[in-house]
Structure 1
Amino acid sequence: MRDHYPEDAAIDAAAEPGVYTVPDTSATAPALTLDVEGEVFEVRADGRRGTEYVWSSGPNPGYGFGLSPTPDMSLEEHRENVRNFLAEIDPATGCLREG
């Protein structure tokens, strides 16, 4: 792991690549509803200095993405993140395109 992180980085020894549990932030972080090109996303802090984007109007319930760190990001920056995500979606599946 040290090959990929600076020497002063805090590393969680119990971390597992590919495993991510979305924390329940519903009580502490109200969602912002964002409409981008006719698609609706719920945008909220993820409790880890990042942002969770849930595609509310998408074909797959609960589908979306997260980014970190995102402190003090402007509304336009959030919109650009959503546009970038939508540009990678396969219209046939409503999910990210395969490789």
Structure 2
Amino acid sequence: MSIEPTPGVVPEHLRIRYTGEPIMLTVDGQQFRVRVRAEDPGTYDFDWLSGPHDYGFGLSRSGDHAMSLPEMEEAVRDFLAQIDPATGYLAE
């Protein structure tokens, strides 16, 4: 038996799972949700909630060092500095 793919639906085995509650950050007036991947505790997903598009970035860290809030804020500022204001996406 073959399972037909459904557009827009991620199969359960490919879904990203997160640990703990998301961290909500406001940096320079922009809102982000930060989540830690359950399968890879050193990997953080930053979702840009107030941006013009469904957009964000990921960041991986080695070792057991958890990111502090100031480190998260710095990562967001680095990301925002790369955004083209005309498109709302990373500048080329």
Supply the AA of the counterpart residue of 2:59. L
Q: Distance in 2 between matches of 1:40 and 1:30?
A: 16
The alpha-carbon distance between structure 1 residues 22 and 81, as it changes in their structure 2 partners (threshold 3 A), is: farther
Quote the residue 1:37 is aligned against. 28
Structure 1, gaps ≥5 residues long: 1-20
* Sequence identity (%): 47
Quote the residue 1:54 is aligned against. 47
Q: Which has a greater percent of helix?
A: 2
- Give secondary structure in 1 for the equivalent of 2:33: strand
Q: Which has a greater percent of strand?
A: 2
Regions of 4+ moved over 2 Å = none
- TM-score, normalised to structure 2's length? 0.74
The number of residue pairs the alignment matches comes to 75
The alpha-carbon distance between structure 1 residues 51 and 22, as it changes in their structure 2 partners (threshold 3 A), is: farther
Q: Distance in 2 between matches of 1:22 and 1:83?
A: 28
Structure 2, gaps ≥5 residues long: 1-13
